[in-house]
Amino acid sequence: MFMDGTYQPRAKHDSRRCDSGKARYPDKTVVVHALHAVKNNAERQLEQFGTSRRKESRTYRCPDCKGWHLTSKPMLARPSLLVGGVSI
C-alpha cells in the first residue's frame, strides 16, 4: 500500500512462486541450500518443541514453471523397462 492509501496491483506472475502456489527456486544449487536450511530448522524445532511440521525431503524440477521446488513426497519408482524379457 502506498502512503496515500492506494494499492499497486501485483504482477500476474510472481517469479518467486509457481502457478501452483509453491515457492520457486531458480536452480538446483539454490533449492539444495533451501532444503538444507529447512531440514536444519526442522531439527531445531524437534529439539525445542518435540515436534516439527516440516517434512521436506527432496527437490524436483517443475515441468510447468521450469524452476525447482521442495517436496515431502517420496521419489516415484519408475516402471521397469523390459528388454528381451530382462528388466533393466
Is residue 1 in some structural domain? no
Block residue for cell numbers 525445542: 48
CA 11, CA 39: separation in Å to the nearest integer?
32
Could you give the percent of the chain with pLDDT greater than 70?
Answer: 70
Global pTM?
Answer: 0.67
Is residue 3 in some structural domain? no
Q: Are 80 and 66 in contact (CB under 8 A)?
A: no
pLDDT at 25 over 70: yes
Is residue 5 in some structural domain? no
Q: How many domains does the chain have?
A: 1
Is residue 2 in some structural domain? no
pLDDT band at 11 (very low <50, low <70, confident <90, very high): very low
Is residue 57 in some structural domain? yes
The H-or-E segment that residue 14 falls in is none
pLDDT band at 75 (very low <50, low <70, confident <90, very high): confident
Q: Which grid coordinates belong to 18?
A: 509457481
Is residue 4 in some structural domain? no
Segments forming the whole domain that contains residue 26: 13-73
Is residue 43 in some structural domain? yes
Lowest mean per-residue pLDDT among 7-11, 23-27, 28-32, 40-44: 7-11
Instruction: Estimate to the nearest angstrom the gap between the alpha carbon of 82 and the chain centroid.
Output: 33
